[in-house]
Structure 1
Amino acid sequence: MQDFWTQVLEFAQTTAKNIGSQLIADFGKLQPTRKEDGTLVTQADKWADKEIRDAIATVFPDHGVLTEETEHIFPANDWCWIVDPIDGTTNFTRGIPIWGISLGLLYRGTPVFGFVHLPQLNQSFYGYWYGESGLTGPTGAYMNGEPIHTSPDNPSKNHLFSICARSTDVLKRPFPCKIRTIGVASYNLLLVASGAALGGVEATPKIWDIAAAWVIVQAAGGVFVSLAAQPIFPLKVGHNYGDRSFPCLAVSRAELVSVFKPLVEFLGKKV
């Protein structure tokens, strides 16, 4: 099994780096179009989506794939990659250098490995979280190969909490931390994993926005909470995840769930 995890990490690193190098050449230069859900897409998203799918098919021919741009039906394969070829397309098209490539590997419907590469920040996050899968292997969360951990601090006005553009209603009530809006769902949540923020919320993320971060946050010692009635994972074979949103909260430790959840849980009722 150790050889398998080594192959998985090396594949994610190589693929994301190669894709990222090409995307940097297109950064801020492409005219986006609007998809049915209102989000933006460019030819770079479509190119990266195909390149990653082809790479997976070559290296892991028995693995399934679910991606933002093409494959939305969750397959019956035990192993499945969930891919966001450009997380933060709006930033990418508008010349803001915070965007990433997100790869999550699921085993029987639940993520066990996550990798997010932010080319222009020169940051690569990854982690392993096996839960109740019965799998074994390397553990922990990392950024550029160095271990990362969530913060042990208590909330204050000198600490950060990240929100998304669709969760700004949280500002209508007093909040115990300073607020930041990043514009990239995975990075928003990874700020919790790295210890930079005590919490982060996403109101309407799709499954490819959070699959990799779900692993890394927990591997770093954090807690990931669904704000909807149903749990996020495991995904169900044959279900279409193209238009489903998964409102969620990430916090740095279990004790902070009771602090932050009451302030953001109303977002789950909008789905």
Structure 2
Amino acid sequence: MSHETEHDTRFALAKAVAQEAGAMALDYFYRRETLVIETKRDLQDVVSIADRNVETLIRQRVAEAFATDGFLGEEYGYQEGQSGLTWVVDPIDGTAPFVNGMPTWCVSIAVLHRGVPVIGVIHVPCDDELYAAAAGMGASLNGKSLSLNPSRTLQNAMTGIGCNTHVTPERVGAIVAALLGKGGNFIRNGSGALMLAYVAAGRLVGYYEPHMRAWDCMAGYCLVKEAGGTHLAFPAEGEALLQGHPVLASNRTVYADLLAIHTG
């Protein structure tokens, strides 16, 4: 089977599985308060259960169709494959919004070929949005082609900024201050994967987070690249795939500006 055909069949599966997984996650989301009462657990436990079960569903679907593919998921870790293709999955990115009843969480599914994302699919169940991209095939949102607007700048658009416990408050403050100093403005919605999808859709002009894992960014990187944007390289072969790295993706018009903020 040629790589093109391989990518086509995996792309179709990624889109179908993202929607199936999103439906399962959305069911947990709508029932989260009831589940807390029924299980005598707290919301954090409920989202952990949802995370694990959604990832298990995706793993099963991939194993049924492509038994020799590798798989890296946030919940259950890395399983090496023999095909040269690896699925990289975050079953629910944005667990804080999920727990707090906000819609900005998503299912993120990427397929890597030799460390490069060749498929990226992000499903946003609360908004019924499916972002999808494959190498050389462009990016789309609910079937509509995405193409970045070269007139967008830091000054006339918004930039997503991410932070987590791997990044000091001082560093986050310096990033925000530098962006504001350039006349930009920032947003954070609790899901790095979703903010990367928003870059591909032109809703954000860029996204920067000093430390992210592969399952948070690989689908988004594929989307941004196929929509005409650019991104920082993410070392994704061998042990590097399992480690955190800086993530920066943007419209080409602002990449140099955001890179300057990254290098400080």
TM-score by length of 2: 0.84
Matching residue's letter, 1:205: M
In structure 1, what is the Cα distance between the partners aligned to 2:183 and 2:29?
A: 36
1:247-271 deviation per Cα after TM superposition (whole angstroms, max 9, x unaligned): 1211101x422222112334xxxxx
Residue-by-residue CA offset, 1:223-263 (whole Å, 9 max, x unaligned): 101xxxxx423421xx2755x2111211101x422222112
- Match of residue 158 from structure 1: 156
In structure 1, distance between residues paired with 2:177 and 2:7: 45
Aligned residue number for residue 132 of structure 1: none
CA separation in 2, counterparts of 1:98 and 1:4? 32
The match for 1:210 is 217
- The within-5 A match list for 1:163-242 is 163-166=161-164, 167-173=172-178, 174-225=181-232, 231-236=233-238, 239=239, 241-242=241-242
Q: In the alignment, what sits opposite 2:257?
A: 259
In structure 2, distance between residues paired with 1:210 and 1:121: 20
What amino acid is aligned across from residue 153 of structure 1 in structure 2?
A: S
- Normalized against structure 1, the TM-score is what? 0.82
> Structure 1: where are the runs of 5+ without partners?
35-39, 130-137, 226-230, 267-271
Deviation at 1:189, TM superposition (A): 1.4
- The SS at the match of 2:78 is coil
Q: SS of the counterpart of 1:250? A: strand
Q: Are the aligned partners of 2:199 and 2:250 in contact in 1 as well (CA < 8 Å)?
A: yes
- Tell me which amino acid in the other structure corresponds to 2:251: S
Structure 2 residues not aligned, in runs of 5+? 37-41, 165-171
Give the direction of change, closer, same or farther, for the CA distance of 1:82–1:156 in structure 2 (3 Å limit).
Answer: closer
- Number of residue pairs matched by the alignment: 244
Instruction: Confirm whether residue 120 of structure 1 aligns to residue 126 of structure 2.
Output: yes
- Whole-angstrom distance in 2 between the partners of 1:9 and 1:216: 13
Is 1:22 the counterpart of 2:20? The answer is no
CA distance in 1, matches of 2:133, 2:44: 33
Please report how far the alpha carbon of residue 75 of structure 1 lies from its aligned counterpart in structure 2 after TM superposition: 4.7
Asked if 2 retains the 8 angstrom alpha-carbon contact of 1:82 and 1:208, the reply is yes
Taking structure 1 as reference, are residues 207 and 234 closer, same or farther at Cα in structure 2, changes over 3 Å only? closer
Deviates more, 1:113-122 or 1:8-17: 8-17
TM alignment of 1:44-59, pairs within 5 A: 44-59=50-65
Instruction: List 4+ stretches of structure 1 deviating above 6 A.
Output: none
**Is 1:69 the equivalent of 2:75?**
yes
User: Does the 8 A contact of 2:97 with 2:105 survive in 1?
Assistant: yes
Specify which structure has the higher proportion of helix: 2
Contact residue 72 and residue 240 of structure 1 kept, 8 A: no
Q: How far off is 1:15 after superposition?
A: 1.2
- Paired AA for residue 68 in structure 2: D
